[in-house]
Chain A
Amino acid sequence: MESTGIIPRLEVSYPDDVLHSYQYCGQDVVLTRKKHILDICSFIRDQCAMNHLMFLCAVDNSRRKEAIGKNEYERFEVVYQFYSMTTKHSIRIRAQVPDDDCSIESITSLWPGADCLERECFDLMGIHFSSHPDLRRILMPEDWKGHPLRKEYPLRGIGEWAGYETLKEKSLELRTFDYRSSQKGNE
């Protein structure tokens, strides 16, 4: 993934949105504001021939060392990685999403495949994607509480999911099939 001329072009086209850019391990990364993310993405797709969306995910910045103390970081960020199959260039966009306005525009109009990825971000990180056609939980059950990938969410979860609670209650009636108890009753 060698360097490309895309970052300067982005900086020229969207001077207000691009916060910062850097290279790490030979990969180009751009930090942006979230406001014009749809425009930036369509610019990248149409002007820079980046037709392949490699991944899309959300990161919780709240405990990130490098983020603490730098005011250009917000609580969350949505990360996009694009790749051009023709020019073999790739670029990563990190769009900052603040805690108090936890939403960003959806890019499903550009990449229909982003549908599931955005739903996953919503499910696990709690980021709303405006103008997404069908924003529901995807991996967790519909009535699950909390967003597991947030940093304050403990690994073993908070509370118990209601569906599992009822299942456990229901399982008491299966006690009669226990091997031991039935064997004893017969002696």
Chain B
Amino acid sequence: MSRKISFNCPVQAGDEDRYRIQMGPQHPATHGVLRVDLDLDGEIIRKCNPHVGYLHRGFEKLAEHRTYVQNLVLTDRLDYMAAMANNVGYCEAVEKLLAIEVPQRSRYLRTMVCEMARLASHLLWLATHALDIGAMTVFLYCFREREELLEIFAELCGSRLTNTYTRLGGVRQDVTHSIMMKLEKFVDSFPSNLEEYETLIDTNRIWLKRTIDVGTVGADEAVGLCLTGASLRGSGVDYDIRKHFPYAAYDFMDFEVPLGETGDTYARYRCRIEEMLQSNSILRQCIERMPPGPIIGDDAPDLIMPNKPGRKVEVDVPAQQSLIKLVEDRETFMEGDVYVATEVPKGELGFYFVSDGNGTPYRMHIRSPSFLHISALKTMAKGSMLADLIAIIGTLDVVLGECDR
């Protein structure tokens, strides 16, 4: 005997195809804890409303209560896929504020670790982006290379992810011969590995169908949305901090900034792949041209390298006071504000410091690329299919730790 089931839903006529779906925060394709509220018309997204803040840890408030040196460890936890690049960004900013000179060798070392971090981050991006779209094998291949890089990091500074490698005025450790050998081996084999990924996905019909003409943004629109990094360059805008405000040793490096044309997911994918090749060539240049010399500047704050020979360590002096002393000694004027941007794998990471002459920042604002990229999701996802949202989130390359701070 059949029974008629009656649904008692308040659906108005003509609205039968409208849904409201909440995606996340626990969703494997949202790269962490992003939540997206969607208004759907069938499968078409009418309205997309990203909710962030599920990983808001209070970095900016915490930074006001810690000294400049102590804050360095916080930056690792921002973009944990490329912690090195964050370290460098933070140090460049504080060094500009405190007018600390960095020796040439450590500038090269910084460039080197930055590019390694870029490779590690892009590999992880490729892995998860491909996994989201449905290509499982790429995930396994990318992790193979990424592990090599992480092991080099571990040998260099003892930690795989949260490195805290740079110091104000230089870096913590010099590279050893075995690290250089390993890196050279990696650099030699990387282009052929990259080709492997390309053969896996570049001619794959599913991949092409799911990336071409998906999430397209024009150049002007992308600038208006404050996109940066490869997400912006995919639309053909030539903006790379490494070229515009060179930091570390990027001045001396030969590299190109790959640009896309169409501004769709595929163009951004191509941009990042080309960028990886460029990073690889920068790494090679770093290995070849690494200058000799000290790795930490003479005027770096004392507490930073306690084991440096010939330096007295004042254990009793709290970090804050010693930093004030440093500034007083050099008669630097430390009251003011400064904004320094660096190019991390995700885009433009900037630190804005307001200092009132104390050893702690008065206010530290982190300009995180992911935060702005997520806000662009609203515009980019509008009118596309639900399944494409996954591709768009992937292509923006967001990391929630940095987004929510």
Contacts and interface: CB of A to CB of B under 8 A. Distances in A.
A56 to B, nearest CB: 9
Interface of A: 1, 24-25, 27, 29, 51-55, 57, 59-60, 63-66, 79, 81, 85, 88, 92, 111-117, 120, 124, 137-141, 148-149, 153, 155
Interface stretch (B81-89, B316-324, B333-341): B333-341
Interface string B275-291: 00000000000000000
Contact of B226 (A114, A138, A149): A114
Nearest to A64: B356
Nearest to B379: A112
A1 B371 contact: no
Contacts of A25: 96-97, 336, 338
Nearest to B368: A55
B239 A85 contact: yes
A180 B365 CA distance: 46
Contact of B350 (A54, A117, A138): A54
Interface centre among B245, B372, B404 (most CB of A within 10 A): B372
Contacts, number: 105
Interface centre among A59, A113, A115 (most CB of B within 10 A): A113
Interface stretch (B10-18, B55-63, B103-111): B55-63
Contacts of B336: 24-25
Given A24-B337, A24-B338, 17 more contacts: A55-B352, A59-B365, A63-B356, A64-B354, A79-B352, A79-B365, A85-B238, A113-B224, A114-B226, A137-B53, A139-B52, A139-B56, A139-B404, A140-B53, A149-B60, A149-B61, A155-B65
A74 B238 CA distance: 38
B130 interface: no
B338 to A, nearest CB: 5
A51 B225 CA distance: 11
Contact of B338 (A27, A59, A60): A27
A85 B335 contact: no
B58 to A, nearest CB: 7
A53 B226 contact: yes
Contacts of B383: none
B363 interface: yes
B223 A51 contact: yes
Contacts of A149: 60-61, 363
B328 to A, nearest CB: 15
Interface in B25-72: 52-53, 56, 58, 60-62, 65
Nearest to A52: B223
B357 interface: yes
A140 B339 CA distance: 26
Contacts of A64: 354, 356, 362
Contacts of A54: 339, 341, 348, 350, 367
A113 B336 CA distance: 27
Contacts of B350: 54-55, 81
Interface string B343-357: 000001010101011
Contacts of B56: 139-140
A144 to B, nearest CB: 10
A65 B337 CA distance: 13
A178 B285 CA distance: 57
Given A59-B354, A124-B60, A155-B62, A81 B339 contact: yes
B177 to A, nearest CB: 38
Contacts of B405: 139
B114 interface: no
Contact of B363 (A24, A59, A65, A115): A59
Given A115-B375, A139-B56, A57 B352 contact: yes
Given A24-B336, A65-B335, A113-B227, A55 B365 contact: yes
B61 A117 contact: no
B376 interface: yes
Interface centre among B245, B339, B376 (most CB of A within 10 A): B339
A81 B238 CA distance: 19
